[in-house]
Structure 1
Amino acid sequence: MPADVTPKKRRTQVERREKAEAKLIGAATDLVARKGFDGFSLAEVGDLAGFSRGLPGHYFGSKIELQNRVAEYVVSEFYKDAAELPVRERGIQRINDLIRHYIKVSKLERVKALTFLFTQAQIEESLKKTMTRLHNQAISTLKQEIEIGIESGNIRSDVDPLLQAGVIYAFLRGQLAFAVLDTNYETVPLGEAFISNLKQSIAAK
Structure 2
Amino acid sequence: MTGLFVTFEGGDGVGKSTQARLLEEWLVDAGRTVVRTREPGGTEVGNLIRDIVLHHRGEVAPRAEALLYAADRAHHIASVVRPALARGEVVIQDRYLDSSVAYQGAGRVLDATEVRDLSLWATEGLLPDLTVLLDLDHDAARLRLDADDKPFDRLEAEKAEFHERVREAFLALAAAEPERFLVLDASRAPEDLAAAVRDRIETLLTSGV
- Higher fraction of strand: 2
Relative to the length of structure 1, the TM-score reads 0.36
Structure having the higher Rg: 1
Relative to the length of structure 2, the TM-score reads 0.36
Give the number of the structure with larger relative contact order, counting CA–CA contacts within 8 Å between residues 6 or more apart: 2
